[in-house]
Amino acid sequence: MIVNSFISKGLLGNPAGVVEYYDDMPTEKMQSIAEIINLSETAFIRKDPLNPNCFLIRWFTPTVE
């Protein structure tokens, strides 16, 4: 999914990729997906298995975490 970030109204803002995942995903796969999405930021989010009220977030650019 691609979302517009840092906006308060309309379709302005910076596009960012968002990938929700449920099981462990290797860093290499996340980096590969971020490279394919090719936006300045791609966030990988999942519920924290130790605290289901929280999320774990990792950020990647097309080249580095």
> Sign (positive/negative) of CA torsion 37, 42, 47, 49?
positive
> Known catalytic residues?
41
* Contact yes or no for 56/25 (Cβ under 8 A): no
Q: How far apart are the first and last CA of the chain?
A: 19
